[in-house]
Structure 1
Amino acid sequence: MFPNVLIAQLVLCNSSPALAQSGGLFAAVSNMSVDWVGYGYAALVASGGVVGYVKAGSVPSLAAGLLFGGLAGFGAYQISNDPTNIWVSFATSGALAGIMGKRFYGSRKFMPAGLVAGASLLMLGKLGVAMLQKPQES
């Protein structure tokens, strides 16, 4: 029963600002949008570093995965708070697209370089679309 009430609150609150401002049952739900794609990308990068360390004992892979995963997570946090603040995510995914794209071009191995390069390019596309959209008036 509880998940149904929570989903109804989220749907109605996000679709009708008047209900959220009325001070009723829907006032407790925030209208802040969470960058789930950004957090997923950060988890992918960080877990890739951990897997590289576990499988091959590569400390540089662990350090780079945790560093770039942390930066991507911080960028997703910034986008969640202010959708126009995309620069940390943009720089992180751009750097990873370049580095891992070069590694993929040289090795032609999809794992891990091709996967991270592809995910980084998709993230850059998402951020590019976000930059081109007009800001919404509130």
Structure 2
Amino acid sequence: TIDLFSKMSIDWLGFGYAAAIAFGGFMGYKRKGSVMSLVAGLVFGALSAYGALKISMDVRDTSISLLSSGVLALVMGMRFKNSGKLLPAGLMAVLSLLMFVRILFRIMM
């Protein structure tokens, strides 16, 4: 039999980040009734989870994670700049920027 997980180093931080994004979208929907928050949270959460899976299977396959965290850092950073609200825009901007920088470091190593 082939064991797909024997050579995998699971990207736990990537999966945790993806869960935080999806949870944030759900909370935006629950608190404010924002369908857009729910959709964006689920889409970016799924993209980030897929990116974490790709990194888990091949540490060099960072393109999806890099793109999703970069776009989310930019969008949420602009929302934070315009609103000045730490939650959720500021927190997600910081988390996304940290994830983006983490992935860049992984590429350089």
Give the TM-score range, shorter chain: over 0.9
Deviations 1:12-43 (A, max 9, x none): xxxxxxxxxxxxxxxxx824200001000000
Deviations 1:76-130 (A, max 9, x none): 0000000000000000000000000000011111000001000001001110110
- Counterpart for residue 41 of structure 1: 17
Give every structure 1 segment of 4 or more consecutive aligned residues whose post-TM-superposition deviation is greater than 6 Å. none
Instruction: Give 1:60 deviation, angstroms.
Output: 0.5
- Counterpart for residue 117 of structure 1: 93
Larger Rg: 1 or 2? Answer: 1
* Correspondence list, 1:67-78, <5 A: 67-78=43-54
Identity in percent: 49
13, 23, 30: which one pairs with 2:6?
30
Q: TM-score if structure 1 supplies the norm length?
A: 0.74
Q: TM-score if structure 2 supplies the norm length?
A: 0.94
| Structure 1 residues without counterparts, runs of 5 or longer | 1-28, 134-138
Deviations 1:30-62 (A, max 9, x none): 242000010000000000000000001000000
| Structure 2 residues without counterparts, runs of 5 or longer | none
